[in-house]
């Protein structure tokens, strides 16, 4: 079955709403408007305004209310339009959702799912193009997911809702129109694990480790390299917190080389964390220093050629791989 | 206690004697517990931030007695009294202050993060204004599940400058949620007087701008606090929407144990102390023939005894083993 990432996400949300009366969706323009990225189109009519709850422009307020509703026995899915606006809700996510379990000595869980779009690539300029996944991945107490395939878009929400703790799901805005076959499903409700990284393309000479909107770019780069007889493995992190160190280490121990692709800025990036773990775990297996392909350290520019130059692109990934392999 | 038992006795405007004594006893319990905390802070048994409620006891006491056991309560870092009157045992509060595993938050929260979810006490929040959106959400969950319950949210007047206040007030009013906003206006946010931080110092006007009904009451008068909260809670329960009550009160002590109190006159503090809630309520009761000096001393001795037992409990309680450090970060266990 060939569907879009948007449709996969829509189906996942539909399943959740239809199967559990505790689940409700809340956020700016999720209802009447149909969702900023049209993910919840039609839900307002089907499930009604109580469960498809349009909110005012109050990111701090409605994310906090989602946390309170989770404490009160509901299973809220809060949609924040984009990660850029989630900064207005950061206090509630970091100071409440992530901490309440610990501060209360284990008395409460916060079974909340927060979805938000992330990433650049559509000439939306600096304030609509952030990739701040690493900020969230820094915080103990929350799980951070980055579905980058149709199967993950379809399958991650269910397990995220079943997680008793807060889960933040990053949907890269460039992926919504991506289409693919929904395949390789272990079970009929599409649920997938939200623990492990996944090898998207096996290879022997180098591990190309990435997540989110950079996964298709890494796969493109790997395909191009393959035409020149260079065999790289593509690892999709999928779960940005807790990181699946085992899969990363296993891959790099086998290929002996690593390039990390991360749309976040290089300084203090997730890519830096991945490299730290590689160095901690498989230093003596490395045949070359790991290399990062990150966004350039500049606010994302509006002009197309400048935006393209700021972001990781297949050509830059190919060049980085060739540099590490010295071919 | 039900409404009939609380009903004012004809004649002198006093409630039934047992209830009046309960209010007085509870104010004394908070006062004596906190005086002991200050002492223990000096002895370095209690560390970190410690925000005393001394002077403001009438607010928590009057308000808590106007709530049902099944209502939700969300509070701030100045919440020792609220926790105690919610029914959290003083032993567990004191052990928490000591950082012991027998504390009501297993020693992970401390003075600012007292929790007791079995009693629907959702903490101890040390982000100014942070509790308001949570209270809105708790009330939303109740509404969506058809549970008739009030969520009481305590906060200081400093919080009204935060976006969380305005967002929370708007959401509660817009969605007609059963949130009882209880603002303890002690006139200072750390060292900043209200008129130095707000263009509009009439807090009820702010709430009213969201079409939230309001009451403003003398927060040094436990009976007035009780009656206002009772009326407000009843309206929330019956009509579903939010209510805002402002208690005019004053903290007699420093903001926290680190505060040299450079920002206010001793005379101002002394003036408010003359209106101290314990002393004025006991004088009122005595004048009405409802309390003798011996009766007062008896209640006070009971409070002192409870405090002594709580301190002994906290002293004797064991420390959590450090091997447990990563507990309770996530529900399913530690992650790296
Ligand atoms: C968001 C935030 N900003 C600043 C602080 C530091 N702070 C702690 S208490 C306080 C004053 C709050 O005053 P108020 O709300 O009136 O409560 P009170 O302490 O008087 O009970 C401040 C500024 C904080 N804890 N949270
Ligand atoms: Mg104050």
pLDDT in tens, A102-155: 999 999 999 999 999 999 999 999 999 999 999 999 999 999 999 999 999 999
Task: Pick A72's closest partner by Cβ from B108, B125, B138.
Answer: B138
Encode pLDDT of A161-203 as tens digits: 999 999 999 999 999 999 998 875 556 678 899 999 999 999 9
Q: pLDDT tens for residues B173-196?
A: 999 999 999 999 999 999 999 999
Residue B318 maps to a domain: no
Assign B10 a pLDDT band (cuts: 50, 70, 90): very low
Q: Closest Cα to residue B136, out of B161, B155, B113, B115?
A: B155
Q: Which residue of B has its CA nearest to A62?
A: B133
Closest-lying ligand 1 atom to the alpha carbon of residue B184: 21
pLDDT tens digit sequence for B269-288: 999 999 999 999 999 999 99
Place of tokens 């984009």: A82
The tens digit of pLDDT for each residue in B58-90 reads 999 999 999 999 999 999 999 999 999 999 999
Domains of chain A in start order, with CATH, are: 2-181 (3.40.50.970), 198-325 (3.40.50.920)
Q: For residues B225 and B246, what is the distance between their CA atoms, to the nearest angstrom? A: 9
pLDDT digit string, tens, across residues A168-179: 999 999 999 999
Q: What percent of chain A has pLDDT over 90?
A: 96
Let me know if residue B3 belongs to a domain: no
- Do residues B169 and A62 touch, judged by C-beta distance below 8 A? no
The verdict on residue B319 lying in a domain is no
> Which protein residues touch ligand 1 with a CB less than 6 Å away?
B 78, 126-128, 156-159, 186, 188-190, 255
Residue B243 has pLDDT above 80, yes or no: yes
Residue A270 vs residues A48, A261, A274, A286, A301: alpha-carbon distances, Å:
39, 9, 6, 20, 22
B149, part of any domain: yes
Q: Are residues B113 and A74, on separate chains, in Cβ contact within 8 Å?
A: no
Residue of B116, B140, B163 to mutate when probing chain A, most A C-beta within 10 A: B140
Flag whether B326 is in a domain: no
**DSSP labels for B268-287?**
HHHHHHTT-HHHHHHHHHHH
Distance CA(B22)–CA(B5), nearest Å, equals 12
> Are B136 and A100 in contact (CB < 8 Å)?
no
Residue B73, domain extent: 16-313
- B138 closest CB neighbour out of A68, A143, A241: A68
Binding-face residues of A in 141-200 toward B, CB within 8 A: 141, 143, 163-165
Residue pair A287/A275 in contact (Cβ under 8 Å)? The answer is: no
pLDDT of residue A178: 96
Domain membership flag for residue B334: no
Count of the separate structural domains present in chain B: 1
Task: Give the residue among B86, B91, B172 at the shortest CA–CA distance from B124.
Answer: B86
Q: How far apart are the first and last CA of chain A?
A: 39
Quickly count: other Cβ atoms within 10 Å of residue B6's Cβ. Answer: 20
Chain A closest-CA separation from residue B315 CA (Å): 19
| Residues of chain B contacting A168 with CB distance shorter than 8 Å | none
Is the CB of residue B195 less than 8 Å from the CB of residue B201?
Answer: yes
Active-site option among A28, A128, A130, A273: A128
Contacts of A203 (CB under 8 A, 6+ apart): A222, A231, A232, A233, A234, A255
Whole-model pTM: value is 0.95
Of the residues A59, A171, A273, A307, only one is catalytic, namely: A59
Residue A280's region, left for phi above 0, alpha for psi from -120 to 50, else beta, is alpha
> By CA distance, what is A24's nearest residue in B?
B144
Question: Quick check: is B162 in a domain?
Answer: yes
Residues paired with B217 in a beta bridge = B247
Q: How many other CB atoms are there within 10 angstroms of residue A61's CB atom?
A: 28
Interchain contact B327–A (C-beta under 8 A): yes
**Annotation marks residue A59 as catalytic:** yes
- Name chain A contacts of B103, Cβ cutoff 8 Å: 105
Host H or E run for residue B151: strand B151-156
Closest by alpha carbon to B318, among B40, B33, B98?
B98
Least Cα separation, residue B135 to chain A (angstroms): 6
* Position B321 in a domain: no
Q: What CATH number is attached to the domain comprising B284?
A: 3.40.50.970
């Amino acid at each position: 079955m060939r569907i879009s990432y948007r449709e996969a996400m829509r189906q996942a949300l539909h399943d959740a709403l239809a199967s559990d009366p505790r689940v409700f969706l809340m956020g700016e323009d999720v209802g009447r408007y149909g969702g900023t990225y049209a993910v919840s189109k039609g839900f307002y009519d089907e499930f009604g305004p109580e469960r498809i709850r349009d909110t005012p422009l109050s990111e701090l307020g409605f994310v906090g209310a989602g946390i309170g509703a989770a404490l009160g026995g509901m299973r809220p899915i809060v949609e924040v339009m984009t990660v850029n606006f989630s900064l207005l809700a950061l206090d509630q996510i970091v100071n409440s959702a992530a901490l309440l379990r610990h501060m209360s000595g284990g008395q409460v869980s916060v079974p909340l799912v927060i979805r938000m779009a992330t990433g650049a690539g559509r000439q939306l300029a600096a304030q609509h193009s952030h990739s701040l996944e690493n900020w969230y991945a820094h915080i103990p107490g929350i799980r951070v997911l980055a579905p980058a395939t149709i199967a993950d878009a379809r399958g991650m929400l269910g397990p995220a809702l079943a997680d008793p703790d807060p889960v933040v799901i990053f949907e890269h805005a460039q992926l919504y129109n991506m289409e693919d076959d929904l395949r390789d499903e272990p079970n009929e409700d599409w649920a997938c694990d939200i623990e492990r990284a996944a090898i998207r393309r096996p290879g022997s000479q180098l591990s190309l480790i990435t997540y989110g909107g950079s996964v298709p770019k890494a796969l493109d780069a790997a395909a191009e390299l393959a035409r020149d007889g260079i065999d790289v493995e593509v690892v999709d992190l999928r779960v940005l917190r807790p990181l699946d160190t085992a899969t990363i280490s296993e891959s790099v121990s086998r290929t002996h080389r690593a390039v990390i692709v991360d749309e976040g800025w290089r300084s203090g990036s997730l890519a830096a964390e991945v490299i730290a773990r590689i160095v901690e775990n498989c230093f003596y297996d490395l045949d070359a220093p790991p290399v990062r392909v990150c966004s350039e350290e500049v606010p994302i520019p509006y002009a197309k050629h400048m935006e393209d130059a700021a972001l990781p692109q297949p050509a830059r990934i190919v060049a980085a791989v060739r540099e590490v392999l010295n071919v | 206690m039900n409404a009939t038992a609380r009903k004012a006795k004809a004649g002198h405007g006093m409630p039934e004697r047992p209830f009046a004594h309960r209010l007085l006893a509870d104010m004394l319990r908070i006062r004596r517990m906190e005086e002991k905390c200050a002492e223990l802070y000096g002895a370095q048994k209690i560390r970190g931030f410690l925000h005393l409620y001394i002077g403001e006891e009438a607010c928590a006491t009057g308000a808590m007695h106007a709530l049902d056991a099944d209502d939700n309560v969300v509070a701030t870092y100045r919440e020792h009294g609220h926790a105690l009157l919610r029914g959290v045992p003083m032993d567990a509060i004191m052990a928490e202050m000591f950082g012991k595993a027998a504390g009501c938050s297993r020693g992970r929260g401390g003075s600012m993060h007292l929790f007791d979810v079995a009693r629907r006490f959702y903490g101890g929040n040390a982000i100014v204004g942070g509790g308001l959106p949570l209270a809105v959400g708790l009330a939303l969950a109740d509404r969506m599940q058809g549970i008739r319950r009030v969520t009481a949210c305590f906060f200081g007047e400093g919080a009204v400058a935060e976006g969380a206040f305005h967002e929370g007030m708007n959401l509660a009013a817009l969605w007609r949620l059963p949130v009882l906003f209880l603002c303890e206006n002690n006139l200072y946010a750390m060292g900043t007087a209200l008129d130095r931080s707000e263009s509009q110092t009439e807090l009820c006007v702010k709430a009213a701008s969201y079409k939230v009904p309001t009451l403003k009451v003398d927060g040094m008068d436990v009976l007035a606090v009780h009656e206002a909260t009772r009326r407000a809670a009843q309206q929330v329960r019956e009509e579903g929407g939010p209510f805002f009550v402002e208690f005019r009160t004053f903290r007699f002590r420093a903001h926290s144990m680190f505060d040299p109190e450079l920002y206010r006159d001793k005379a101002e503090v002394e003036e408010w102390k003359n209106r101290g809630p314990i002393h004025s309520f006991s004088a009122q009761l005595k004048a009405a023939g409802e309390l003798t000096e011996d009766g007062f001393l008896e209640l006070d001795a009971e409070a002192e005894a409870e405090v002594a037992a709580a301190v002994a409990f906290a002293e004797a309680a064991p420390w959590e083993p450090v091997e447990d450090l990563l507990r309770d970060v996530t529900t399913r266990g530690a992650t790296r």
